Structure 1
Amino acid sequence: MTSVSAPSAAELCPDCGAPRGDLARFCEACRYDFTTGAGAGAVSASRSPSWTATVSVDHEYFAKVMARSEPEDQRLYFPTHSPDRHIPLTHVLITIGRRRSSGHTPFIDLGGASEDPGVSHEHAILIQQPDSTWSLMDKGSTNGTTVNGAEDPVVPYKPVPLTDGDLVHVGLWTTITIHRN
C-alpha cells in the first residue's frame, strides 16, 4: 500500500508544473495522480465532443503588442505568409510552446518557418475537463498569455475555463482559437 505524504509548500506537479494543493491526491490542473505517479499527458481525449485548435498569425494582435513594446522591439516584423493550422485536440493535456534544440516538441509547436519569438518553450497548456470542455493554464511564460483580447495576462498556473470560439493570444502574433466540432 502506497501512502500519501504531506506536500511541501513548493511542490509542483511533475506533468504540468501547477502547485500541489494541500494533501491533494490529484493535480487540480491536469489530474496527475501524486500517489501512483500516473500522468494525464499521454491519455487520449476520447470523450466527445471533439475540439480543434486553429493556430493563426494575427496582425491585429501584433499591432497591439507593438504599440506597448520597447523601442528596440520595433525592428521585429510580422510574418508575410503563414497559413492557418487546424490541430485536433486529441489528448487531455495539450502543450503549447516552441521546440527545444534538445528535441522536446510541444503538441502545438509555434516554432518553424514563422516562429513567434515571443513564445516560451513551455508557454502554456490546454487541459480537457471531465465535462469535455477545456481550460488554459499559462506555465509562467516570459511574455504571458491572454484570452479574448484582454489587456491583462492570465495568472500563471491558474486554470482559466475556455468556451467554443475563445481566442488564446501568445507571443507577438499568435492566436489560437478553440473550436468545438
Structure 2
Amino acid sequence: MAEVCPDRAFFDRNDDEVEFPDPPTGRRVVLTGERTLIGRRSPRRDIRPQIDLSVAPEDLGVSRAHAFLDHAADGQLTVTDLGSANGTWIGEDRTPIAPGRSLPLADGGHIYVGSFTRITVHRTR
C-alpha cells in the first residue's frame, strides 16, 4: 500500500515556482505486481504510472517516468530513481538518491518526489 499526499515541509524546502495544493488531499494506491512506476501519465509516450501524479493534486515537479518501487515476494520494498529531473529522496535525508541506485524502504518509510509529494509505503505481510 502507498499513501500519496502533499507535504508542506517538503514543499517549503524546495524553490519550485508552483503553488502548494489547497486543500492538500491525499489518496491510497494498492501496490500490485512486482514493480510500480511513479510518474505522470503521458498516453502519447505510452507512460501510464500506477502512482500517477498527473491527477489532482498534480505535481509538475515529477518526471513522466520518475522512479520505480520494486516489491519482493517477502514484502521488502525498494525504490529506484530513474534519472528524474528533480530527484527522489528517502526519509529526512537532504541528499537525493543517485539515479539507477535501488535503496530499501522500511515499513512506513517516506519517499519524496517532485515539488511537494510524499509517498508513505506500507509492506504487506
When normalised by structure 2's length, the TM-score is 0.91
Cα shift at 1:171: 0.3
CA positional deviation for 1:130: 4.0
2:32 paired with 1:90? yes
Structure 2 distance, partners of 1:160, 1:81, is: 32
Distance 1:137 1:169 in 2: 12
Whether 1:144 and 2:93 are equivalent positions in the alignment is no
State the AA in 2 paired with 1:58: D
Which protein is richer in strand relative to its size? 2
Instruction: Report the equivalent of 1:63.
Output: 12
Q: Percent of pairs identical after alignment?
A: 38
- The C-alpha deviation readout for 1:144-179, integer Å capped at 9, x for no partner, is 000002110001111100110110000010000001
1:114 is displaced (CA, Å) by: 1.6
Number of residue pairs matched? 123
**CA RMSD in angstroms, aligned pairs only:** 1.4
User: Which aligned segments of 4 or more residues in structure 1 are displaced greater than 6 angstroms?
Assistant: none
CA distance in 1 between counterparts of 2:60 and 2:115 reads 7
Answering whether residue 76 of structure 2 is matched by residue 127 of structure 1, we say no
Gaps of 5+ in 2: none
Q: Is the Cα–Cα contact under 8 Å of residues 167 and 176 in structure 1 kept in the other structure?
A: yes
| CA displacement at 1:84 relative to structure 2 | 1.4
**Higher RCO (CA-CA < 8 Å; seq separation 6+):** 2
Counterpart residue number, 2:18: 76
Partner residue in 1 for 2:41: 99
Q: Which amino acid aligns with 2:95?
A: D
Point out the structure with max Rg over C-alpha: 1
Deviations 1:55-100, CA, capped at 9 Å, x for gaps: 00111110011xxx2xxx4x42101024211111111100000001
